[in-house]
């Protein structure tokens, strides 16, 4: 006869336990008795295969001990459940097989968690998520948690994604001191959600809902303001989205839509070379996104689609985002520096899936093309810019 247990079955998933940095003989639970929850807690690295105990001074794991990424929804939910039950945040690093930055960041994060960073503040759990695993893609995990850059470091507390502290900047992710402080702040949550840090807590008049914007909008009340920003390439049916937005707005409510036209790299002085690799990249990108059903030139049609949905007196504001630091004007030079950094850091993430799935390129072909694009993108002799449009209007009073 098999004994029954009240513990949930974990389907082979185990924990990688890390020894605390404080000796057991000196731990708070041995020094005094209290009915309140102790803050000190062990860090945990979640795994799917083996259970390994590692001394706190063990700097890096051996290849044989290296833990696999989360590759399906069941694993992900199991680790969320385990972290929630222990009232410790779950730190997730979203990676792909092609991401070179991930190969630097993942060992660094694992080393910090193994060394006990955050244990004094309450402890953390940690795992990596293989974003391009077939089951992860099919489950739409990246869409659910708004993962739009690789690598992304995202914390979950009490099962909720803490998007306000999400990290996507490659320089921050490679900064040991920054990561140590970030881990400590996340460890202070203790299942209270909020913004982390000593204070924590969320504003009592704010609610966050994570849902698929392309499904039916069944909210219990209307909205006074709807803001949609940089969703090009994510929506298959923009006319339907605008109709639902119109129907969900209260009379007199406002809508604002802002997006870049990634497919159109423009130039006002003829210096942009049509056969340059950065121009080729934008052309390939819009071709691929169109074949996949989510075209990156969608912002060109927003104004007309909003009119068809019922909106009137639509205001349009156009911005110019330089592709690098070519402008002489200090404002646009700084703006170009930001745009250049964003594109350079996110180029692999913006390219691999549409090029391989939409155009049928191989991974080697993409890897061979991207360095040429990065070099072309840095060329300050080409005065290119991406147009960014903002549309806003008010729903008529009834």
> What is the arithmetic mean of pLDDT over 280-309?
94
pLDDT score of 208:
65
pLDDT interval class at 192 (50, 70, 90): low
Q: Is the pTM of this model over 0.75?
A: no
Better pLDDT: 60 or 133 = 133
Locus of tokens 């937005």: 245
pLDDT tens for each residue of 298-313: 999 999 999 999 999 9
| pLDDT average, residue stretch 84-99 | 88
User: Who wins on pLDDT, 6 or 300?
Assistant: 300
Strand order in the sheet with 160-161: 14-17, 44-47, 125-130, 90-95, 152-157, 160-161
- What's the pLDDT at 40? 58
**Taking all residues of the chain, what is their mean pLDDT, rounded to a whole number?**
81
Long-range CB contact pairs, 51-57, < 8 A, 24+: 51/14, 51/15, 51/16, 51/17, 52/16, 53/17, 53/19, 54/16, 54/18, 54/19, 54/114, 55/19, 56/18, 56/19, 56/20, 56/21, 56/114, 56/115, 56/116, 57/115
d(CA 193, CA 202): 7
Q: Is residue 24 scored above 80 in pLDDT?
A: no
Mean pLDDT calculated for residue range 94-119: 90
For residue 311, what are its two tokens? 């909106």
pLDDT at 337: 94
Instruction: Quote the radius of gyration of the chain (alpha carbons, Å).
Output: 24
pLDDT at 28: 37
Q: Please state, in angstroms and rounded to a whole number, the distance separating the CA atoms of residues 270 and 385.
A: 12
- The band of 92, judged by pLDDT with boundaries at 50, 70 and 90, is very high
pLDDT of residue 143: 79
- For position 82, what pLDDT does the model report? 85
Over range 170-191, report the average pLDDT: 90
Is the pLDDT assigned to residue 265 strictly greater than 80? yes
pLDDT surpasses 70 at 72:
yes
Q: Report which of residues 12 and 395 the model is more confident about.
A: 395
pLDDT of amino acid 22: 37
217 has pLDDT over 70: yes
pLDDT reported for residue 199: 35
Whether the per-residue pLDDT at 162 is higher than 70: the answer is yes
Shortest CA distance to 73 belongs to which of 163, 140, 154?
A: 140
What pLDDT was estimated at residue 381? 96
Residue 15 or residue 161, greater confidence: 161
| Residue 317 token pair | 């504001």
Q: Which residue has the higher pLDDT, 28 or 352?
A: 352
55 pLDDT above the threshold of 60: no
The tokens describing 172, both together, are 């921050």
* pLDDT at residue 137 in the model: 83
Task: Give the CB-side neighbour count of residue 99, counting CA atoms within 13 A.
Answer: 25
- Mean of the pLDDT values across residues 266-293? 94
Q: How far is CA 202 from CA 60, 194, 207, 336, in A?
A: 36, 4, 9, 35
State phi, psi for 112 to the nearest 5 degrees: -65, -40
Range in 78-82, 120-124, 142-146 the model is least confident about: 142-146
How far apart, in Å, are the Cα atoms of 379 and each of 36, 272, 277?
60, 10, 11
- State mean pLDDT over 36-44: 63
Q: What is the pLDDT of residue 397?
A: 84
339 contacts 324 by C-beta, under 8 angstroms: yes
Judged by average pLDDT, the poorest of 32-36, 91-95, 365-369, 392-396 is: 32-36
Backbone φ and ψ for 110, nearest 5 degrees, come out as -65, -40
For residue 18, what pLDDT is reported?
39
């Amino acid at each position: 006869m098999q004994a029954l247990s009240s513990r949930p079955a974990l389907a082979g998933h185990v924990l990688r336990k890390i020894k605390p940095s404080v000796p057991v003989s000196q731990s708070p639970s041995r020094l005094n008795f209290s009915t309140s929850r102790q803050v000190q807690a062990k860090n945990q690295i979640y795994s799917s295969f083996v259970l390994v105990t590692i001394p706190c001074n063990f700097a890096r794991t051996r290849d044989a001990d290296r833990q696999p990424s989360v590759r399906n929804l069941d694993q992900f939910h199991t680790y969320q459940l385990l972290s929630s039950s222990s009232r410790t945040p779950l730190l997730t690093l979203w990676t792909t097989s092609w991401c070179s930055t991930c190969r630097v960041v993942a060992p660094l994060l694992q080393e910090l968690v193994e060394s006990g960073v955050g244990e004094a503040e309450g402890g953390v759990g940690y795992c990596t998520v293989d974003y391009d695993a077939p089951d992860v893609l099919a489950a739409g995990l990246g869409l659910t948690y708004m993962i739009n850059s690789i690598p992304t470091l995202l914390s979950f507390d009490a099962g909720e994604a803490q998007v306000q502290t999400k990290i996507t900047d490659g320089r921050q992710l490679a900064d040991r001191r920054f990561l140590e402080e970030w881990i400590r702040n996340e460890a202070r949550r203790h299942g209270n959600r909020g913004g982390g840090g000593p204070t924590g807590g969320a504003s009592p008049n704010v609610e966050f809902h994570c849902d698929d914007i392309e499904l039916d909008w069944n909210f219990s009340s209307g909205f006074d303001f709807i803001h949609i920003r940089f969703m090009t390439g994510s929506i298959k049916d923009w006319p339907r989205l605008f109709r639902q937005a119109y129907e969900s707005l209260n009379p007199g409510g406002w809508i604002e839509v802002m997006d870049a036209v990634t497919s159109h790299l423009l130039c006002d002085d003829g210096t942009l070379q049509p056969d340059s690799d950065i121009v080729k990249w934008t052309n390939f990108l819009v071709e691929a996104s169109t074949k996949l059903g989510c075209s990156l030139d969608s912002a060109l049609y927003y104004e007309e689609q909003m009119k068809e949905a019922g909106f009137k007196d639509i205001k349009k504001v156009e911005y110019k985002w330089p592709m690098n630091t070519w402008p002489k004007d200090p404002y646009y030079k700084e703006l170009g520096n930001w745009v250049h950094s964003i594109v350079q850091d996110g180029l692999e993430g913006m390219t691999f899936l549409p090029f391989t799935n939409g155009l049928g390129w191989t991974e080697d072909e993409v890897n061979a093309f991207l360095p040429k694009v990065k070099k072309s993108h840095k060329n300050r002799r080409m005065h290119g810019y991406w147009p960014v449009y903002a549309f806003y209007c008010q729903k008529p009073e009834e």
